[in-house]
Chain A
Amino acid sequence: MAASNTTTSNAVVTMDVFRYEPDASELPRMQRYTVPFREDWVVLDALNHIKDEIDGTLSFRWSCRMGVCGSCGMMVNGEPRLTCNSFLRDYYPNPIRVEPLSYFPVIRDLIINLDHFLDKLEEVKAWLIPAEDRELSEGEYRQSPAQLAQYKQFSMCINCMLCYAACPAYGHHSEFIGPAALALAQRYNMDSRDGASDERADVIFSEEGIWDCTFVGECARVCPKNVDPASAIQQAKVEATKDFFKSVLVPWGKRQQPAESR
């Protein structure tokens, strides 16, 4: 579509933006901006317009502008959204309220502190730990399409944390490992090449792992990549229950200890 067709002349949209400037004030406030309305603009474009043309002090994260990097997640009218994926035309002519992702601590304006999330990814060992170590010369780890299908959905996660901002269990208890990290743990547990489910189990089968989840299911609804963390967590609960009763009924069937910490 030609760019000229997509501009509605003189039309504007009102943006109410969450501001938090710790050097200036302890308390956050809402600031109103008026930006041009364009058919093909997303909320992120409007924020960039504000930063470039109106108020250079506004801070927010973004990178790819195409829904793959996962850095532009914010609350748009109370819903966790990728702002590069949310068109102004879907809200126009109503005002648009932009806030940092719910439940996370705010560092500045629309920027949240994501250290906790990164820690959690590390705790659940969200990476492949091969069941058998192989030399490069022995060739690749092979996997059938059916084995790939088991975990593929969970591997689509882009770490945007929208699911955390939708999760009241995380809102109540920030130590909860939470939807994406648990879905990623499950992603590696279900990978036929991986051999570390038992190591991960100590974390994900703990109180702060899957058992903090009350299956609200909002994580699945807001996820832009259709990951369905809620399903991953329910499946892990079933696994944890099997694991528990196995350890009660056959206590001598010792689980293998990991050779050393990896």
Chain B
Amino acid sequence: MARSKEPIWWSMFSAGGVIAAFLIPATLLITGFAPLAGYITAEQLHDLIDRSWLVKIYLFILIALPLFHWAHRFRFTVADLGLRGGAALQAILFYGAAIVGTICAAVILIRA
């Protein structure tokens, strides 16, 4: 038996899990409920992101790591639901989506 390469994905999954646990609930309130309740307008939020590199880096982290968290956990959820066919293809699809999403986020935020 060989030592697995799973640590690559598991470490990203864990990092994403930590980031998601700490940051998503509050961020969700800012993007979802503050505009709804009138505490913030879409325009203000737009300018907040547009003006600050710090906010852009924050958003990059909040996009990239949770995507890997999703890819890894979803891969195992699908297996746990009993859909075990094409495991390699599934892995390529899910991790691939996370990689593409991360690259998109980087390109968009650098150019923005």
* Distance in angstroms between the alpha carbons of A205 and B8 in the assembled complex: 13
- Of A206, A214, A241, A245, which one neighbours B2 at CB under 8 angstroms? A206
Tell me whether B3 and A244 are in contact (CB under 8 A). yes
Tell me whether A207 and B76 are in contact (CB under 8 A). no
- Of B1, B5, B7, B76, which one neighbours A202 at CB under 8 angstroms? B1
* Distance in angstroms between the alpha carbons of A237 and B72 in the assembled complex: 15
Residues of B within 8 A of A202 (CB): 1-3
* Distance in angstroms between the alpha carbons of A75 and B2 in the assembled complex: 35
Within 8 A of A (CB), among B50-70: none
Tell me whether A206 and B4 are in contact (CB under 8 A). yes
Residues of A within 8 A of B8 (CB): 244
Tell me whether A172 and B10 are in contact (CB under 8 A). no
Residues of A within 8 A of B84 (CB): 172
Kindly provide the distance from the CB of B76 to the nearest chain A CB, expressed in whole angstroms.
5
Which residues from chain B sit less than 8 Å from chain A, CB to CB?
Answer: 1-8, 10-11, 76, 79-80, 82, 84
Which residues from chain A sit less than 8 Å from chain B, CB to CB?
Answer: 168-169, 172, 201-203, 205-209, 211, 214, 237, 240-241, 243-245
Q: List 29 A-B contacts (CB under 8 A).
A: A168-B80, A169-B80, A172-B79, A172-B80, A172-B82, A172-B84, A201-B3, A202-B1, A202-B2, A202-B3, A203-B1, A206-B1, A206-B3, A207-B1, A207-B4, A208-B1, A209-B4, A211-B4, A211-B6, A211-B10, A237-B10, A240-B3, A240-B6, A241-B7, A241-B11, A244-B3, A244-B7, A245-B7, A245-B11
